[in-house]
């Protein structure tokens, strides 16, 4: 269900309630501009951008997975690396900020699309996954629906 009252768009689902002030500055920076309520937690772009209960993701490589002692002098820079934020969280929500990644120029009339940089002052590319506590399978299914299935190893 959605409605617009006093210049604020409200969208309600069984798991969350989104409020967006239609004439807010861009990007939205306060809870008055944009807020999402999930259960008893409120997400706003200016505070707690990532859930404190995030279950983390993975490293970009599995080198040195056996332990630090096997990697001395080889991958020392990776030994103190923390895990990336993952999609799953005990809070029941996660935000993916894809604003810094590159885009393709469309390439519809070209044989190969070209990579182009974004203007970070003109666009924010945020994906909010609000799935509720413990609904991890639904989260992965939602992510797969927008990103496509991961390729299988040969």
**pLDDT given for residue 8 in this prediction:** 93
**Which residues, in sequence order, are CB contacts of 62 under 8 Å at separation 6+?**
none
CA dist., res. 110 & res. 112, Å (int): 5
Q: Residue 26 has what DSSP assignment? A: S
Contact 2, 9 (CB under 8 A): yes
**pLDDT given for residue 65 in this prediction:** 54
> How far, in Å, are 13, 141, 147 from residue 86 at the CA level?
23, 14, 15
- Give this prediction's pTM: 0.66
- How would you list the strands of the sheet with 34-38, edge to edge? 2-5, 8-12, 17-21, 34-38, 41-43
Domain count, the chain: 1
3-state DSSP call for residue 138? helix
Tens of pLDDT, residues 75-112: 555 555 566 788 888 888 888 888 877 777 766 666 76
Angle (CA) 50-53-57 rounded to 5° is 75
The verdict on residue 22 lying in a domain is yes
The verdict on residue 106 lying in a domain is yes
Which of 18 and 118 is assigned the larger pLDDT?
A: 18
The verdict on residue 81 lying in a domain is no
Expressed as residue numbers, the domain containing 42 is 2-54+89-147
Which of 28 and 122 is assigned the larger pLDDT?
A: 28
The verdict on residue 136 lying in a domain is yes
Which of 68 and 100 is assigned the larger pLDDT?
A: 100
Q: Residue 136 has what DSSP assignment? A: H
**pLDDT given for residue 81 in this prediction:** 56
Tens of pLDDT, residues 101-152: 777 776 666 676 777 777 767 777 888 888 777 788 888 888 888 888 887 7
C-beta atoms surrounding 82 within 10 Å: 7
The verdict on residue 82 lying in a domain is no
The verdict on residue 80 lying in a domain is no
């Amino acid at each position: 269900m959605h409605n617009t009252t006093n210049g604020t768009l409200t969208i309600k689902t069984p798991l969350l309630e989104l409020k967006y002030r239609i004439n807010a500055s861009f990007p939205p920076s306060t809870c008055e501009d944009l807020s999402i309520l999930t259960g008893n937690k409120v997400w706003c772009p200016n505070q707690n951008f990532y859930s404190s209960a995030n279950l983390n993701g993975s490293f970009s490589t599995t080198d040195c997975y056996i332990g630090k002692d096997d990697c001395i002098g080889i991958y020392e820079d990776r030994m103190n690396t923390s895990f990336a934020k993952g999609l799953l969280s005990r809070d029941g929500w996660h935000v993916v900020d894809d604003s810094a990644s590159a885009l393709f120029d469309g390439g519809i009339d070209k044989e190969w699309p070209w990579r182009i940089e974004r203007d970070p002052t003109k666009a924010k590319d945020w994906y909010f996954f609000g799935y509720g506590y413990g609904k991890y399978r639904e989260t992965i299914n939602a992510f797969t629906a927008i990103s496509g299935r991961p390729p299988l190893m040969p």
